[in-house]
Structure 1
């Protein structure tokens, strides 16, 4: 129940990033957007998310994970209603930025909250449910857009209906989180051990709760002697190494090009040879296989080592990038099956990505960092991830226009190969260890 409620933050993350795909055309005519203001309105959410991730981590450390998620639910509600009622595009842009703050804050806080509440053996599947909800939110946005456009497409303000739907899961998140417990690890770090033990007894057997509480308490006491979590901790070599690994993992996740498909999938399929209507329908396959991929990933994530799964994911992604590029380059445009072949390889890439790197990177970011800077380091890594997302979002359309589908996807393939090298040489294994065991192990290795 804790995982179900908290991951409504992920659902909102997915819906608010995916809904613009179908809303932007009617929005352009209703608000008189130019190419420049359209790009500004679409992209400002990403910059808001980058800031929200950086600030959200710090706020979660200071005031608590639950408190942060409740605040984010309110911001989601305000941002959604503000966007839906915006009379002119600057107001829309302002509330898109507000929504971005909530999206980024949720992306940094929800995985940490789930990792700290979940028992070790279920941590992988529970934390990665957030990724399921993100891609479910994006898929829901594609479907809701299609349905609303078919029913109310003649209305100038049809895009407002698309946006306002997100207020429902935001209200559910707010009401649901009021009944959820605070993170026991955060409570212990605030010297609230009685409350922390009470929470653990809600979600563990009494014996296990006592044993786990002793372990958490010992670690918190040990870290109390060190500095409080923040920028100063990056002076410690092993902590700095983990934060750099986390940030680079986030960059590689985005440079697979997954969000170029989630934001511009319809345009890519039109460029491949589909008609406008055909591309909109075909694009829902990307949303569907995104959800299916994450579902398969969750089934595997507690059975396969993190490093093995990351290397396998990068390998599959690179292969499908090469196949997309080769199909675009070598198949003749006169061939009727060409767009469908490209669609199959794009969908296979989306499935492979969301079945491996999609959930795994978020999971590893929630597992890798020591308690005293966990939310700070998560926020920093996710800030870098969002900036990489912004780079792909801005860079993909001009790259496609300048060089076409094939070279763009060949570049993505090369980045995937670099990802394999990075994982093989730098990334530690976190599976099968408590957060405290992993922290002790890394400290000893690099002290």
Structure 2
């Protein structure tokens, strides 16, 4: 395994005064809580389709292909939202962009709830997708730029925890509404309507939140940046951090290399962008979102009845939240690389075991659905504890300030594109190769992803964003020692 030279690891943080607690700590907690409503919406809007698809198809007369279109339209739109959201937040500000996303979430929800037909439904899903993609890029960056480096992992990681809480909320709401009001026509519209509430909370909450101090410095608004830092740090720490950010911003300005121009003229920046893309793609190729979108389909295929699958589907949602809480507590203790390697090893083993179980247990075996459910839960737990939070945090912290919106946006754009193709073709894949072939395929890809992480991904934990920026730009971050 690789790690940074010890001397390199300790050099950057020592100049900053230590973290202290006080009213500023509570203020940071409040900012994180409000911003992560974006993650909650992300989770609910991607998870609600899991239980709403059946009654929606029955009412609107959807085919297997148009079901795939309804599900994947949100995901492909999220790819565009991720790219556009990153660029917009660089120019317009992180806070303003999140407020705009709250409006998009609300409008998209109303469009889906009141849709008269398939075409308008897809438009509503596209609007929700743009909002989900934008939130997936901007919220983690906003949190990473506001958080002290010592706790950046657990602060930025709260967004991913909010995503799985949103998905679990969608599964629980679907199960309750589906079983209590399932006889009512248009029951799926009620399932979707509920996510208008967090959209309203995000809009009004963000009106009272500060802008990212790092973005303010980049725009030359140094006094505003100091005012913001004073609300979330002690006085001496706020001034010291501002000096660090100003120093790096000045160097960027003098080099006249920012954004795309800088990326293509510096191979170290191009390399970190490719690593970001690779990590996002690897996370999606575990098939995690196939379970989150089509969990009910997989469980029915393994032997559960329709209503049994709807209830059993809550189990992966619960373990995702439990895993998220554990993962969040590990973010400031375990190195990112070690977390990725552990996660990919466990998910690949789970894929192999799901494939073996579905092959070895006959279709009429009463144990089959429960064994597969247990293994799916183990997979989701491994994914959430070691991979999901870590990947989102890594993408929010690894890019230099001048390319953070672009870098995060492009990486998450590619993540969503892969997610989109998987969500579009997953039902066909299960139909063609069964659970066995599908999960063996995921296992093979997982082994390749593990090789990629071991050989290519550098460490970022325990460093300030400014120290990371310097090491990424000069290539020092890639200097590793082999043990």
Partner residue of 2:428? 398
Structure 1 residues 204-353: aligned runs within 5 Å: 204-227=233-256, 229-235=258-264, 236-353=266-383
Confirm or deny that 1:20 pairs with 2:20: no
Residue 230 of structure 1 and its aligned partner are, at CA, apart by: 2.9
Supply the distance in 2 between the matched residues of 1:339 and 1:151 (Cα, whole angstroms): 24
Say which of 112, 117, 121 aligns to 1:83. Answer: 112
Whole-angstrom distance in 2 between the partners of 1:283 and 1:401: 20
Q: In structure 1, how many angstroms separate the alpha carbons of the residues matched to 2:387 and 2:310? A: 26
* Residue 15 (structure 2) aligns with: none
| d(CA) in 2 for partners of 1:27, 1:343 | 25
Q: Which residue of 1 aligns with 2:468?
A: 438
2-structure distance, mates of 1:424, 1:89: 45
Tell me the TM-score normalized by structure 2: 0.91
Instruction: Give the conservation status (yes or no) of the 8 Å contact 2:39–2:166.
Output: yes
- Please tell me whether the aligned partners of residues 39 and 160 of structure 2 are also in contact (alpha carbons under 8 angstroms): yes
After superposing on structure 2, the runs of 4+ consecutive aligned residues of structure 1 that deviate more than 4 Å are: none
Query: Given the alignment, which residue of 162, 165, 186 partners 2:191?
Result: 162
Aligned-partner Cα distance in 2 for 1:119–1:133: 20
Candidates 350, 357, 365, aligned match of 2:395: 365
Alignment counterpart, residue 107 of structure 1, candidates 128, 133, 136:
136
Change (3 A) 1:86 1:385: same
User: How many pairs were matched up?
Assistant: 447
Distance 2:61 2:305 in 1: 25
Give the conservation status (yes or no) of the 8 Å contact 1:238–1:446: no
Deviation of 1:333 (Å)? 3.0
Q: Which runs of 5+ in 2 are unaligned?
A: 1-29, 478-483
| 2:3 matched residue in structure 1 | none
Give the 3-state SS of the residue equivalent to 1:356 in structure 2. Answer: helix
Please report how far the alpha carbon of residue 446 of structure 1 lies from its aligned counterpart in structure 2 after TM superposition: 5.7
Matched, 1:119 2:148: yes
Over 3 Å counting, the alpha-carbon distance change for 1:201 and 1:48 in structure 2 is: same
Structure 1 window deviating more from structure 2 (109-118 vs 148-157): it is 148-157
Q: Deviations over 1:280-302 (max 9, x none)?
A: 11111011111111111111111
Aligned residues of 1:237 and 1:446 also touching (Cα < 8 A): no
Q: Which moved more, 1:38-47 or 1:8-17?
A: 38-47
- Is the aligned partner of 1:129 residue 2:158? yes
TM-score, scaled to structure 1: 0.98
From 171, 178, 184, give the equivalent of 1:149: 178
Q: C-alpha displacement at 1:176, in angstroms?
A: 0.5
Query: How has the CA–CA distance of structure 1 residues 70 and 228 changed in structure 2, closer, same or farther, with 3 Å as cutoff?
Result: farther
Report the alpha carbon displacement of residue 232 of structure 1 after superposing the two structures with TM. Answer: 2.1
Q: Deviations over 1:128-149 (max 9, x none)?
A: 1100110111110011111112
Q: Is the 8 A contact 1:229 1:376 kept in 2?
A: no
- Shift in CA distance, 443/231, structure 1 to aligned 2, threshold 3 Å: closer
